[in-house]
Structure 1
């Protein structure tokens, strides 16, 4: 009669250990897949949240209001004194979460970085809401005026909590990654560091326009209230982000020889297209009258 001669003291071969280890890996894989903890599942959730399509607010009177959803666009301009690579086209201010932390956790890092990317399609990572200063009594729907304090909020994370565009003075331990200038980040803390103001583009007409409504889809200068530094897009300084190669955004006023802000400090608060909810006002074709006038000027015909 056959008997089982093996007991606990019998050693297993390496081949048997490999089988048991493979079974443990498979159990661990299936358990993580059921809980949604796999790396590919985390990446899909994060990208689905950040790249979800958004609808911008439509300005009926041509001005920007508190509560409006807009995108911040740095208009296309030729390179100046920058050497080397230079990103052309309209650049949009976007949220740029840390790549490693995003893969490990479902929630957004605090503070979260920002960058500028070559797109004007409204998504979850570039659609900001014009919010009132927490110290003011401005109501939602009121017109934003030049020199008036406001905040820029964006919904982030799976819980869609609000993060605020913030900045503070540069230190030895805290500055922008490439230019070493004043850093701009997104934070969930409500403070005076979240306050910004829109300034009229022409410096000779700023006093006359102080207190006037801010027009939508036109160039303005956005200054940080606490440090008096202008928001800037550095098209020649590239960053590696979770979504690929993008350019740095910092808070620094770049002035030319006439003490006028350079195009890297120019921004547009772009609203939605009333004809197409998924498009922006930048997608509208130019009026035929402007095209005709340009052709006539090129041909030397005076009108």
Structure 2
């Protein structure tokens, strides 16, 4: 009896029908997620599109800071870090679309090297003692810093005492974050960066675009950026921000605690920080920041 082949090379074996159905279900689920904008790449694009929206900073004609001003918190930099600005450290898990698109509190912050006025870097000087909007902010006067309304949801820059359950991720120092509630934990004050001139400037108007210290009222710790603590964020490599006062050998605060509340140029040429360096900080420090950023 001659040998008879009962199957050919193209015969399907195994659970081929089940595998085919699974691949079809995967393609269908992918297409549905794409139509709803739920793919990871789409979520990242959505976040960047909204949080990098340009914001117009306030213009201070008298050179001082006022309640209601929109500013950027800029650190000029130092030996181990570049010029950076306090930024909302949001990822795709921090964004909610209900009832409207926005950042979901609590949310972290970082110091990004992209010095541009946008939703991510803009903060509003807010009164906590009943001072009317437009009035001048003075040294040692309590105030709050909150993000802009809309996508940033008007979250308050907040900090609290260090404990084992709540601390900065990298340095394990006092954490600084964004919260949706206004409380004593979100109160800050500004003092002169030079300890020898601090007492005589108490109660005087705070000039814009000059180096100052931003002190947390409850813990008495100064806002700081850490060049040796790097965070990998959705927006690239950035520095960790914490509340910790760092002193040098002369008992003066180090440059990691020095901040510039940056405003816009009255003539419309961008940031005063880069257009008038002699009026804002030491010229050698300004050269570390790239004006083309």
| TM-score bracket for the superposition, by shorter chain length | 0.7 to 0.9
Alpha-carbon contact 1:145-1:211 (below 8 Å) kept: yes
Work out whether 1:251 is the aligned partner of 2:246: no
Paired with 2:165 and 2:184, the residues of 1 have a C-alpha distance of 21
Residues paired across the two proteins, number:
264
Paired with 1:207 and 1:153, the residues of 2 have a C-alpha distance of 28
Corresponding position of 1:7 = none
Work out whether 1:87 is the aligned partner of 2:87: no
Q: Using the TM superposition, give the Cα deviation of residue 248 of structure 1 relative to its aligned residue in structure 2, in angstroms.
A: 1.1
Work out whether 1:188 is the aligned partner of 2:180: yes
Paired with 1:36 and 1:201, the residues of 2 have a C-alpha distance of 47
Alpha-carbon contact 1:49-1:157 (below 8 Å) kept: no
> 1:1-303 to 2 correspondence within 5 Å?
14-77=15-78, 79=79, 86-88=80-82, 90-97=83-90, 99=91, 101-102=93-94, 108-133=103-128, 136-155=129-148, 158=151, 160-276=152-268, 279-284=270-275
Taking only aligned residues, the RMSD between alpha carbons, in angstroms, comes to 2.3
Alpha-carbon contact 2:75-2:256 (below 8 Å) kept: yes
Paired with 1:286 and 1:247, the residues of 2 have a C-alpha distance of 24
Q: Using the TM superposition, give the Cα deviation of residue 19 of structure 1 relative to its aligned residue in structure 2, in angstroms.
A: 3.0
Runs of 4+ in 1 over 6 A off after TM superposition: 103-106
Paired with 1:156 and 1:35, the residues of 2 have a C-alpha distance of 26
Paired with 2:96 and 2:57, the residues of 1 have a C-alpha distance of 31
Q: Using the TM superposition, give the Cα deviation of residue 274 of structure 1 relative to its aligned residue in structure 2, in angstroms.
A: 2.4
Alpha-carbon contact 1:238-1:246 (below 8 Å) kept: yes
Q: 1:177 to 1:206 in 2, by over 3 A?
A: same
Q: 1:13 to 1:179 in 2, by over 3 A?
A: closer
Q: 1:154 to 1:104 in 2, by over 3 A?
A: closer
Q: 1:33 to 1:62 in 2, by over 3 A?
A: same
Q: Using the TM superposition, give the Cα deviation of residue 220 of structure 1 relative to its aligned residue in structure 2, in angstroms.
A: 0.5
The TM-score normalised by the length of structure 2 is 0.83
Alpha-carbon contact 1:153-1:164 (below 8 Å) kept: yes
> 3-state DSSP class of the match of 2:21?
helix
